[in-house]
Amino acid sequence: ETGVTQTPRHLVMGMTNKKSLKCEQHLGHNAMYWYKQSAKKPLELMFVYSLEERVENNSVPSRFSPECPNSSHLFLHLHTLQPEDSALYLCASSVQRWEVTQYFGPGTRLLVL
Amino acid sequence: QKEVEQDPGPLSVPEGAIVSLNCTYSNSAFQYFMWYRQYSRKGPELLMYTYSSGNKEDGRFTAQVDKSSKYISLFIRDSQPSDSATYLCAMSGGNQFYFGTGTSLTVIP
């Protein structure tokens, strides 16, 4: 595997479910990011991790809970989501935090029913 | 006022045409200006970036930044069907990234 991978690629969940999104980067980078991409809206930065420490949390609802156990893996735990949370969730990484050159994964397409 | 404004298109051009994609922004503190390409069912891929004002060329792609007008452009020369994608502008400053909504481009053979 190369680059940034994300699993699952598609996810359908009910509002009472709990699920997790997984991201893995094989680039030896130190920073990882979660973004939300909704139709006709700009890409929104949700969380930034640098060396496994969360350095940014952009007023994201608590029903989204990130976890970064090591510099290669990033999770986004989901619980009691709302239909408006349906979107493409993208993971990205960069050598250091806030670097311009970020490498994105293919995303997880989430549908909340 | 949105931080970044980008015309969503869609934009459809014949193969070989010159394509112009544009964004405007409101925050004069932005220092880096990026263009990403996103194919269907894929994540964004960084095409090129510019620091501060000026032009940057990479093959068929040219990025321009006019900080006085808060306006950035991406030009694609000799457009190819493989250029069909959504193009996202992005800017950074103050430890934050701001993206446009993306412009959908189709190059017709």
Residue of B nearest to A39 (CA): B101
> Average pLDDT of B35-55?
93
Within 13 Å of residue B2, how many CA atoms lie on the same side as its CB?
A: 16
- State how far residue B63 is from chain A, nearest Cα, in angstroms: 15
Contacts of B46 in chain A (CB under 8 A): 100-103
Asked whether the beta carbons of B68 and B87 are under 8 A apart, the reply is: no
A105: which chain B residues are within 8 Å (Cβ-Cβ)? 43
Looking at chain A, the whole-number percentage of residues with pLDDT higher than 90 is: 81
CA distance A86 to B47: 27
Does the structure show a pLDDT above 80 at A58?
no
Measure CB to CB from residue A100 to each of B32, B41, B96 and give the nearest one: B32
On whether the CB atoms of residues B65 and B50 are closer than 8 A, the answer is yes
User: Average pLDDT of chain A?
Assistant: 93
Counting residues of chain B whose pLDDT is more than 70, the rounded percentage is 99
The whole-angstrom distance between B38's CA and the closest CA on chain A is 10
- Indicate if the pLDDT at residue B41 is higher than 70: yes
Contact B95 A102 (CB under 8 A): no
* Three-state secondary structure of chain B: CCCEEECCCCEEEECCCCEEEEEEECCCCCCEEEEEEECCCCCCEEEEEEECCEEEEECCEEEEEECCCCEEEEEECCCCHHHCEEEEEEEECCCCEEECCCEEEEEEC
Give the amino acid at B99: F
